[in-house]
């Protein structure tokens, strides 16, 4: 199909565009990107172009996982009767497979929250288990929850551990997690879950009316689009058809939006291994030496894709939802630019708005606490100095008493009385300040918890952990050039837009 070219007006500066958009429709920038220099835009499918109704897909995944645990792995039938909390897991958590805990870490791998089942670990438990040694070398023990696809397994893990232990079973936490992972994979491989989704697409998939116009706008600006998904062809075809077919009269089928379609791509291996592209023709597969528009390929690797499409690495923007499989690997192995789709941004910016006043109060408390600390240091120093002088005076008094100098003893005695009065005053001041610091600290802690609960009742904000950036937030900062809630947010921006990162400052520069 011939590409149509729309006349493009001069784009307004990025600050202006962003400021006029609701925050959940904005595209956020970690690393500046001139969109006009992007020639190829690639998309992942699941959770990127295809947005699932999360509670529905969670329920489906949980149902099949639990069924397989009971029927194929011999777990107690009671697991089938439980209600699993789909609101418990979020992205960016780590499963401690050894202890059966689910934890959240900050960017330094410091565990800031954790649960066993749904019971929160106390500060003392966290300290004893995680803070006495570095966790960096223990990565095999921790499973990273970095996609929305992985949330159901965490819901099942927490629910099952809690129920099994309560019923008196000896639980092998590592084995249980491995079984849950395998069961959910089997339910995908044997098509139990994909078939259920395809049988009722409107129930499981949210059709975004702005998706087709977004892709059209990019194509109209001369960009070539490609689809790169790990899903198999029949599923991809049905899903993409549901999302795009009939959406715009210019496009007879969903395939007309894309210059290249690659299914079963085996990411992250696609970025790291050398594998041939194979064309899918009916049931047959044949290796190919070139890629053509309108045909369907599977497998492949990044070098061949760039070579066959004649693409410059940094002229490619890849849009995906998987921080590891889509974004981190693309970023580490290639010069591709990356955009991360984070559906959670909608709730996250909403919570930011709702907590604006509380966060201002929190800042005020922090400043008050700093002032009290400062005063406390002053009075402690003064008390020490007073006590030192008091000791000296007492020593002088003793010496004078022995030498019989009555007159000088009187002077020293007066000074002793004054110093003792000062000491009493300072002690009182210190007691009062310490009490004030404790009060502010308690208020601050309660407010912090209250704010975190506005983001998520179990885990707080996705992007922060304690007073730091969360490990997940840190990965986003590190590997995603852009991040936004959904693909169609690109519709609000010109294809010539300059995505400008806010200038990053080192602590000494602020
Ligand atoms: Mg995906």
Residue-by-residue pLDDT tens, the chain, 510 positions: 445 555 555 555 555 666 789 999 999 999 999 999 999 999 999 999 999 999 999 999 999 999 999 999 999 999 999 999 999 999 999 999 999 999 999 999 899 999 999 999 999 999 999 887 666 555 688 999 989 999 999 999 999 999 999 999 999 999 999 999 999 999 999 999 999 999 999 999 999 999 999 999 999 999 999 999 999 999 999 999 999 999 999 999 999 999 999 999 999 899 989 999 999 998 899 999 899 999 999 999 999 999 999 988 899 999 999 877 777 776 677 789 999 999 999 999 999 999 999 999 999 999 999 999 999 999 999 999 999 999 999 898 888 888 877 777 777 788 889 999 999 999 999 999 999 999 999 999 999 999 999 999 999 999 999 889 999 999 999 889 999 999 999 999 999 999 999 877 787 886
> How far is the centre of ligand 1, averaged over its atoms, from the C-alpha of 455 (Å)?
24
Three-state DSSP at 91 gives: coil
> How far is the centre of ligand 1, averaged over its atoms, from the C-alpha of 3 (Å)?
28
Predicted confidence at residue 396, as pLDDT, reads: 87
Rg of the chain over Cα atoms, rounded to whole angstroms, equals 31
Report the DSSP pairing between strands 40-43 and 316-320. parallel
Predicted confidence at residue 106, as pLDDT, reads: 94
> How far is the centre of ligand 1, averaged over its atoms, from the C-alpha of 2 (Å)?
29
> How far is the centre of ligand 1, averaged over its atoms, from the C-alpha of 329 (Å)?
14
Query: Which residues have CB atoms below 5 A from the ion given as ligand 1?
Result: 44, 46-47, 321
Length of the chain, in residues: 510
Predicted confidence at residue 164, as pLDDT, reads: 97
Predicted confidence at residue 9, as pLDDT, reads: 54
End-to-end CA distance of the chain: 53
> How far is the centre of ligand 1, averaged over its atoms, from the C-alpha of 441 (Å)?
42
- How far, CA to CA in Å, does 403 sit from each of 100, 173, 289, 406? 75, 79, 109, 9
Predicted confidence at residue 135, as pLDDT, reads: 62
Predicted confidence at residue 20, as pLDDT, reads: 86
Q: Are 478 and 31 in contact (CB under 8 A)?
A: no
Predicted confidence at residue 52, as pLDDT, reads: 96
> How far is the centre of ligand 1, averaged over its atoms, from the C-alpha of 201 (Å)?
17
> How far is the centre of ligand 1, averaged over its atoms, from the C-alpha of 477 (Å)?
19
> How far is the centre of ligand 1, averaged over its atoms, from the C-alpha of 30 (Å)?
21
> How far is the centre of ligand 1, averaged over its atoms, from the C-alpha of 297 (Å)?
18
Would you state the structure tokens that stand for residue 35, as one six-digit string?
A: 């969109």
> How far is the centre of ligand 1, averaged over its atoms, from the C-alpha of 45 (Å)?
6
Q: Are 502 and 121 in contact (CB under 8 A)?
A: no
List, as one string, the DSSP characters of 323-367. Answer: IIIIIIHHHHHS--EEEEE-TTHHHHHHHHHHTHHHHHHHHHHHH
Of 400, 393, 453, residue with least CA distance to 423: 393
Of 358, 384, 315, 386, residue with least CA distance to 450: 358
Q: Are 233 and 298 in contact (CB under 8 A)?
A: yes
């Amino acid at each position: 199909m011939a590409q149509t070219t729309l006349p493009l007006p001069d784009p307004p500066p990025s600050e202006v565009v962003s400021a006029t958009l609701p925050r959940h429709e904005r595209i956020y920038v970690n690393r500046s990107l001139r969109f006009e220099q992007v020639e190829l835009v690639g998309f992942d499918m699941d959770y990127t172009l295809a947005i699932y109704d999360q509670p529905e897909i969670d329920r489906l995944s949980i149902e099949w996982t639990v069924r397989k645990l009971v029927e194929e792995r011999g777990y107690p039938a009671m697991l089938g009767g439980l209600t699993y909390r789909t609101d418990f897991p979020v992205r960016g958590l780590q499963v401690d497979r050894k202890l059966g805990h689910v934890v959240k870490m900050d960017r330094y791998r410091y565990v800031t929250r954790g649960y066993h089942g749904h019971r929160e670990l106390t500060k003392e438990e966290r300290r004893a288990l995680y803070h006495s040694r570095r966790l960096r070398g223990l990565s095999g023990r921790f499973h990273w929850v970095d996609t929305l696809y992985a949330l159901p397994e965490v819901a099942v893990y927490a629910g099952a551990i809690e129920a099994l232990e309560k019923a008196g079973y000896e639980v092998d936490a590592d084995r249980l997690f491995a079984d849950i992972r395998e069961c959910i994979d089997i339910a995908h491989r044997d098509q139990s879950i994909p078939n259920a989704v395809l049988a009722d697409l409107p129930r499981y998939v949210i059709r975004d009316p702005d998706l087709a116009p977004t892709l059209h706008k990019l194509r109209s600006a001369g960009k070539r689009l490609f689809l790169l998904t790990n899903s198999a062809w029949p599923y991809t075809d049905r899903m993409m058809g549901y999302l795009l077919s009939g959406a715009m009269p210019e496009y007879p089928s969903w395939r007309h939006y894309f210059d290249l379609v690659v299914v079963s791509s085996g990411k992250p291996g696609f970025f790291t291994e050398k594998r041939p592209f194979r064309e899918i023709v009916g049931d047959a597969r044949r290796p190919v030496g070139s890629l053509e528009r309108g045909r369907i390929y599977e497998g492949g690797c990044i070098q061949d894709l760039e070579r066959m499409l004649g693409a410059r690495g940094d002229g490619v923007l890849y849009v995906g939802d998987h921080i590891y499989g889509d974004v981190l690997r693309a970023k580490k192995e290639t010069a591709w630019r990356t955009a991360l789709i984070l559906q959670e941004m909608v709730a996250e910016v909403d919570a930011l708005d709702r907590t604006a006043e509380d966060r201002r109060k929190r800042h005020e408390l922090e400043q008050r606490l700093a002032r009290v600390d400062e005063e406390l240091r002053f009075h402690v120093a003064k008390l020490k100095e007073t006590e030192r002088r008091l000791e000296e005076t007492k020593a002088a008094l003793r010496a004078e008493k022995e030498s019989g100098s009555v007159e000088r003893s009187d002077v020293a005695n007066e000074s002793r009385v004054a110093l003792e009065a000062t000491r009493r005053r300072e002690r009182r001041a210190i007691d009062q300040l310490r009490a004030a610091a404790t009060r502010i600290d308690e208020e601050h802690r309660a407010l912090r918890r209250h704010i975190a609960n506005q983001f998520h009742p179990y885990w707080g904000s996705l992007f922060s952990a304690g007073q730091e950036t969360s490990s997940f937030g840190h990965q986003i900062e590190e590997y995603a050039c852009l991040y936004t809630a959904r693909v169609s947010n690109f519709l609000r921006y010109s294809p010539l837009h300059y995505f400008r990162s806010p200038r990053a400052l080192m602590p000494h520069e602020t």
